[in-house]
Amino acid sequence: VYAMGIILWELVTREHPFLKAVPSVQGIPQFVISGHRPQIPHDCIPSFARLIADCWDHSPARRPTFQNILDVLLEIASKISAEL
């Protein structure tokens, strides 16, 4: 689920999540374990930003299930298509 949050972040930013913060690939696990997360853009849809943050919760037990993730994504897609 954490990795799904990273993928969602990459879709929003079109960037590598650790490129600027971690000098080498070997440093990524310690960066993540210490609680650091990539910054979610301020212009991100609030419900999408919350989903990303929930996927990154420090406690894996508090992260959403994939069914929850799918439900939120479908809700976001529905709201966006209604606005079009």
23-62 pLDDT per residue, tens = 888 888 888 888 889 999 999 999 999 999 999 999 999 9
Average pLDDT, integer, range 53-73: 97
List the end-to-end C-alpha distance of the chain, in Å, as a whole number. 30
Instruction: Encode burial over 33-51: b for 16+ CB neighbours within 10 A, e otherwise.
Output: eeeebbebeeebeeebbeb
Alpha carbons 72 and 64: distance in angstroms, whole number? 10
